[in-house]
């Protein structure tokens, strides 16, 4: 293995010769051998967009030459394209401000930028702090990258995933609109509804969650950039932050603005807490949908069995022919992880001390993991389960026929207490509801047939 000597304000350190990073990244690699959780790729890409925008803003202010700006921009574009993925090795468990990840980006862009300048015959040299990090601090760049990464992950991945499953449920709701089934509350029989109506509730959960997530993520479009070290904007022109936000917006095709109060932007992450709360609400709805599907598909002979779902793979290594609701299981495990992430994000965000919150990497990691897992699992659940839901008409009809809760239709005619007595007698004697009703003497068989009709009980 060949090495080169890099130097920072602490002193000299050896770096593998083929690595693009410099001394501060190397110190982080050596000092934080903690876990396997790498800084999210989304944060790396957002940092590259930020550094490119900052170079343009500094050039616009006359602080950075056109050659240096172009070199930074070209190097940043290569990072965005994935050319240097292996050169961002840092873990989440590092300094809580994300300083070392900021410097990792500065060092890679400076080194690659200097190669570009040399190829062009320029004698100018990029310095990771003085040029790539010009007018910036880790304290305002990391939260800026957090917000850019979070907004793009939600809008480009999670929202489309919600919409895909929502469209499938809308189609299933329409397809099964006339399939009357027994309802259930408290896991006990209740009055009828249609399978389409039941599924429409699932669809509306996704619609509501999508609206809440869209609204909440708007607050993350405010960026901390321009606040530098403590929010005062020291060493940055007052127009720098708004200019960077404008350049980022142009580059990613999504609107961002410079935060009104930088003191808030550096020390508080309530926007991400709020947005992840809406994401947690989606996870709660996804848990309910996935559980309903696996309950309704339970069996095939000893469960509820009112719907069938695709058989994707063998379900047991010992029980031949067994098939399990694996997509529901995967989705519900994801929702549990998201709920845990929400607790971590909320607690981490509460730890802002004075001018800075130093739990930023764990907030970013958990937020982006939630978005990634929910996006993937909603699509997987849609493609391998929801899209293949079918109604088991014979089972559904038999459950409706045998349900004692159809007795509810008798309330207006004979009263609650007499109707309850009929239902209890039918259950105790194992007879049909109709047999018990006629035996009670409170109504005739003809009246029962006229009053107790499931199709009249579904609230069309």
Catalytic residue set = 186, 316
308 marked ligand binding residue: no
Would the annotation count 411 as a binding residue? Answer: no
300: cis peptide before it, omega within 30°?
yes
65 is in an annotated binding site: no
323 labeled part of a ligand binding site: yes
Closest residue by Cα to residue 111 from 142, 69, 58, 71: 71
- State yes or no: 298 annotated in a binding site: no
Cα(213)–Cα(308) distance, integer angstroms = 31
The answer on whether 104 is annotated among ligand-binding residues is no
Token digits of residue 392: 């088991």
Residues 141/358, Cβ–Cβ less than 8 Å: no
Question: Other CB atoms closer than 10 Å to residue 318's CB: what's the count?
Answer: 5
Q: Is 138 annotated as a binding residue?
A: yes
Task: Judge contact between 209 and 247, C-beta under 8 A.
Answer: no
Return all residues near 115 (Cβ < 8 A) that are at least 6 apart: none
Q: Binding residue per annotation — 412?
A: no
Tokens, residue 193: 């509804």
Q: 98 labelled as ligand-binding?
A: yes
DSSP 42: H
Task: Establish whether 324 is an annotated binding residue.
Answer: yes
97 marked ligand binding residue: yes
Q: Is 326 annotated as a binding residue?
A: no
Does the annotation list 200 as a binding residue?
no
322 labeled part of a ligand binding site: yes
Per the CB < 8 A criterion, the answer to whether 10 and 78 are in contact is no
Which residues lie closer than 8 Å to 420 by C-beta, 6 or more apart? 407
Q: Is 44 assigned to a binding site?
A: no
**Phi, psi dihedrals of residue 277, rounded to the nearest 5°:** -60, -40
- Yes or no: say if 426 and 404 are a contact pair by the CB < 8 Å rule: yes
Question: Known binding site: residues?
Answer: 97-99, 127-130, 137-139, 185, 317, 322-324
Question: Known binding site for substrate: residues?
Answer: 97-99, 127-130, 137-139, 185, 317, 322-324
């Amino acid at each position: 293995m060949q090495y080169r000597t890099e130097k920072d304000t602490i002193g000299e350190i050896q770096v593998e010769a083929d690595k693009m990073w410099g001394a501060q990244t190397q110190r982080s690699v050596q000092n934080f051998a903690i876990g396997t959780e790498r800084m999210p790729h989304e944060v790396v890409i957002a940092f590259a967009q930020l550094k490119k925008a900052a170079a343009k803003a500094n050039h616009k202010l006359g602080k950075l030459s056109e050659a240096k700006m172009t070199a930074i921009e070209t190097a940043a574009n290569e990072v965005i394209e994935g050319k240097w993925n292996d050169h961002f090795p840092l873990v989440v468990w590092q300094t809580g401000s994300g300083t070392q990840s900021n410097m990792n980006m500065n060092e890679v862009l400076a080194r690659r930028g200097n190669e570009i300048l040399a190829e062009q015959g320029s004698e100018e040299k990029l310095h990771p702090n003085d040029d790539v990090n010009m007018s910036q601090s880790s304290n305002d760049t990391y939260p800026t990258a957090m917000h850019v990464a979070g907004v793009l992950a939600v809008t480009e991945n999670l929202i489309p995933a919600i919409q895909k499953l929502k469209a499938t449920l809308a189609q299933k709701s329409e397809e099964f609109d006339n399939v009357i089934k027994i309802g259930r509350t408290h896991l006990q029989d209740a009055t009828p509804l249609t399978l389409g109506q039941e599924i429409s509730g699932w669809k509306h959960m996704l619609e509501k969650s999508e609206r809440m997530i869209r609204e909440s993520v708007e607050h993350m479009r405010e960026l901390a950039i321009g606040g530098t070290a403590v929010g005062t904007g020291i060493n940055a022109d007052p127009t720098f932050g708004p200019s960077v936000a404008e350049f980022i917006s142009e580059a990613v095709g999504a609107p961002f603005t410079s935060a009104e109060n930088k003191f808030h932007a550096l020390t508080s992450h309530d926007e991400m807490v709020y947005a992840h709360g809406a994401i947690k609400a989606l996870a709660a709805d996804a848990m309910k949908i996935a559980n309903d599907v696996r309950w309704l598909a339970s069996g095939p002979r000893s469960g509820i069995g009112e719907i069938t779902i695709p058989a994707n793979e063998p379900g047991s290594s010992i029980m031949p022919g067994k098939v399990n609701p694996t997509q529901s299981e995967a989705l519900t495990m994801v929702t549990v992880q998201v709920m845990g992430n929400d607790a971590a994000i909320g607690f981490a965000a509460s730890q802002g001390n004075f001018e800075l919150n130093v739990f930023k990497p764990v907030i970013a990691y958990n937020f982006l993991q939630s978005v990634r897992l929910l996006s993937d699992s909603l699509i997987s659940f849609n493609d391998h389960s929801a899209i293949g839901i079918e109604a088991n008409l014979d089972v559904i009809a038999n459950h409706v026929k045998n349900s004692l809760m159809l007795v509810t239709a008798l309330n207006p005619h004979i009263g609650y207490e007499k109707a309850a007595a009929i239902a209890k007698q039918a259950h105790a004697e194992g007879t049909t509801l109709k047999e018990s009703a006629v035996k009670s003497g409170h109504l005739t068989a003809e009246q029962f047939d006229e009053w107790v009709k499931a199709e009249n009980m579904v609230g069309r």
